[in-house]
Every structure is written in structure tokens, then in C-alpha cells.
Amino acid sequence: MERLFGTDGIRGVANRDLTPELAFRVGRIAASLLKQKNRPALILIGRDTRLSGGMLEGALAGGITSTGVSVRLLGVIPTPGVAYLTRTLGAAAGVVISASHNPIEDNGLKIFDHDGMKLSDEMEAEIESCYFEYNLSHAGNPRPEGAAIGQVFHDGEAARLYLDHLRETCGSLTGMRLVVDCGHGAACALARELLEQLGAKVNLLHGEPDGGRINVQCGATDTARLQQEVRRCGADAGLAFDGDADRLIAVDEKGAVVDGDAIMSICAIDMVQRGALRKNTLVATVMSNGGLDLLAEEYGFRLLRAAVGDRYVLEEMLAGGYNLGGEQSGHIIFSDHTTTGDGLLTALQLLTITGSAGIPLSGLAGRLKRLPQVLYNQPVATQKGWEENLAIATSIQALRDKLGHHGRVLIRPSGTEPLIRIMLEAPFPEDELWEEARSLAGIIAHEQGK
């Protein structure tokens, strides 16, 4: 079956894979199906700073309004801001035009339902079915005329509601010295204002909203400059956001990276000690370091692992009634406050804990004792068929046997790029793990290039 949606919406190279025509049709289909379900006749659209964002925004809005559903354009705003505003303003759905951490030529469509949740697999399948059949007859194929045509409204003030919400989730940051890398993305619109309103002193990096430089040697995908600047300024912490600001990578006062696993460990321990970690359970993914299992045992909470992808983390959280989960990549979900990963919210929670603990960020992060782990991304001609390939399967099993009881070998195709991701973890020297990862990657590249 042909697919539009990957693990995190629809993505591709803008104007090649993700064309205005595709955006128009998806907008029209999604709006028609929502009208059929008697949802409110309003959809919100937000975007990051990518150069293709305006082009896709216009096409998407055209498709939606052609069905009689109106659109509120929120402009440049973080992805979690759209999720929050969708449920707060009572919209039928919210759409974010962003490819998150991907290169500048990529873009994507991420759709939230009226509750601010990512679309269900069933709804995605329904949209795909209509798209590939180009058939809206079951939805009435609406073509309203005159006053019944949907309208487009520009709303630059709705982001204030999102800022107010964020401020209510944390304590004062007075006196904190921060270096903040916005990655030329969606965080540029709000990060400095938010942190300074809470009392922090902010040194901003890559704070210009520039779609030609989004994620380029900056932000959560490249923290080298941030680490340098934190050390130079003697800051208490550094914060790095990705293109759509739904994830956070932090840097401690010594300039060391504090990734999603470390952030989750800090938040989980704090919540356990306050009696706030629901059912004493943290939800991570299979990619999170095995050191989290050891930390959970030490501090008396349970670690539950979900499939890779923040949507699967949230599914586990909702099913079990848990309120903290996330990914090593920095997507952290605090379900008491939000329905998706939120880099700004995560930063506020982390900084509030650091400020109240009286312990520097390096000390808090250092409680997580990691098993050596390497991540290797192998470009491939095709992702199809790797699981059934005998040579690949034999090599994986041989490597698992070699790494032993405490070792892990995880292989998965990327849902957003033509890559197969390899994760190795074991109590082995890191350079030996890298050698094994490269060797396995070479076999996968050869077999998938046939």
C-alpha cells in the first residue's frame, strides 16, 4: 500500500516530494473528512522558518477553505504551540508545516486532532486512501460557493496564550545565566521573551528566524558552538532547540551535553521525590540508554520502553496513566501540561529543578551512569526488505552473541529519511562498538544497494 505518512507526519523535499499540489489535496481531504465527523469548521496552521513554508501554507489553506472550513494562520510558532492552541481554541485540527530537525530543503505536514494529539493511525489511513484514490465522494465532495467558502484569518496574537500557559508551569528563573541556541527556527519567536520574563539573563545564539540556515551547524542537531559559548560566558546552562522547537538538548555549566535521557533522569528523580511521578513510571523508548534501567532501580521508579517515536511514547503514557516520557533525542512529554514533546516546556522544567536543587546541572545529569552506546546512520538505496535479508539477519545475530547479555543491537529504518539506523550498546570500549557498527552498516549498505 502506498503511504503518505511516516512516523511523524508527511515529509519530503519541498517542491519535489512535498509539492503545493500535495499540500492542497491533503488540506482538502482532511478538512472534508473532519466536516463529515461534525468537527468545528476551523483549522489552525503554524510553521517554522523554512523558505518553503509560505508556499505550502498558501496551498494548504487553499485546500482547506475550498471545503468551507476556515483557517487561522498562526505564523512562525513552535509545533507544541499549535497543539496547545488547537485544543484551547476549540479548532477541528491544527497543522504544522515543518520538517523539525531535517535539512533546509525538506519540509513536512504534521497534523493534530481537536484534542491536540497527533492523528490516529486510522485517520491517517483514511486520508491516504482518499489521496491515492483522489476520491472524496464519501465525504460529499464539498464545493461551497459565495459566503459558504472558508475564510483565511491571520492571527499573530494567539501565541500569547501559549506563552502564558508555559509561564504557569514553572518557578522563577531569576538570576540564571543562560545561553540559548534557537537554531534559526521556530524558537526564535518566543524563547528569549519567555526566559527573560521569568528572570533569566539570556545570551542568544542563532536567534534570527532564517529558513536558509535552519538547523545548519546550530540548534539541537549541532551543539558545538553552544558548548563553547557556555564555557566562555560561565553560564549556568545552555539550551538548544530544533527547527520546530518540540525538543531540547541542554548543555551543563561545564559545556557537556545533557541529552534527552539525562533530562528524563533529572525530571523523574525530582518527580519521585515530590510524589509527582504518576504510578512511579517513566516511559522511554528502546533507544534510551541502559543506564536509565539502573537509575530507575536505584531511585525506586519503573522504566517502561516504547517503540521509537514520541507518538508511541504518548500512546504508552495515555494507556497506562503515566505523566512523564520521552526520547533520547530530546522529545520530552509532560502530560500534566501538554500532549506532545515541547522544547520550551522541557527547558522550564529542567531549569526550575536545577534552580531549586542547589546542585549544578552537571551534578544532576551525572547521576545517570551510561552504558557505552553508539548510533550510526547508514544511507540506503531502499529500506524495503532488510528484515527478511538473510545476510543482514545473520550478521545481526552474530553481533548480538558477541555483545553478550548486557548488550543491545537495535536496527530500524528512519521514518523521515532514507536511512537505516543502527544502535549498539554494551559494556565494551566505545571505539570497538563504533568498529562493529561500521562493519554492520557496510553489510546493510551492500545488501540494500542490490
Cα–Cα distance for residue pair 247/240, rounded to 1 Å = 8
Strand partners for 97: 47, 109
Residue after which a domain boundary falls, among 300, 333, 365: 365
Catalytic residues: 100
Q: Which of 314, 342, 365 is the last residue of a domain?
A: 365
Domain check: are 278 and 426 in the same one?
Answer: no
Number of neighbours of residue 141 by Cβ within 10 angstroms: 11
Ranges of beta strands (E only) in 98-192 are 106-112, 152-154, 177-181
163 located within any domain = no
Q: Name the pTM for this structure.
A: 0.88
- Structural domain contains residue 2: no
CA distance 217 to 214: 9
Same structural domain for residues 174 and 321?
yes
Report residue 164 as a C-alpha cell: 502564558
Query: Considering the domain boundaries, does residue 206 fall inside one?
Result: yes
Q: Does residue 45 contact residue 74 with C-beta atoms inside 8 Å?
A: yes
> Considering the domain boundaries, does residue 3 fall inside one?
no
Q: Using CA atoms, how far apart are residues 20 and 33, in angstroms rounded to an integer?
A: 20
> Is there a single domain that holds both residue 151 and residue 17?
yes
425 lies in the same domain as 296: no
| Residue 282: strand pairing partners | 303
**One-character DSSP codes across 57-82:** HHHHHHHHHTTT-EEEEEEE--HHHH
Q: Is 350 found in the same domain as 219?
A: yes
Helix (H), strand (E) at residue 193 = helix 191-197
Total number of domains in the chain: 3
360 & 387 share domain: no
Structural domain including 143 reads 10-158
278, 345: one domain: yes
Residues 6+ apart with CB under 8 A from 78: 46, 162, 186, 187, 189, 190, 244, 245, 246, 342, 343, 344
List the chain pLDDT tens, one digit each, 450 residues. Answer: 578 998 789 999 999 999 999 999 999 999 999 988 878 899 999 999 999 999 999 999 999 999 999 999 999 999 999 999 999 999 999 999 999 999 999 999 999 999 999 998 899 999 999 998 866 554 456 789 999 999 999 998 999 999 999 999 998 999 999 999 999 999 998 999 999 999 999 999 999 999 999 999 999 999 999 999 999 999 999 999 999 999 999 999 999 999 999 999 999 999 999 999 999 999 999 989 989 998 999 999 999 999 988 889 999 999 999 999 999 999 999 999 999 999 999 999 999 999 999 899 999 999 999 999 899 999 998 898 899 999 999 999 999 999 987 788 999 998 778 899 999 999 899 999 999 999 999 999 999 986
Residues 130 and 268 in one domain: no
Residue 154 shares a structural domain with residue 194: no
Last residue of a domain, one of 365, 386, 418: 365
Q: What is the CATH number of the domain that holds 396?
A: 3.30.310.50
d(CA 399, CA 8): 30
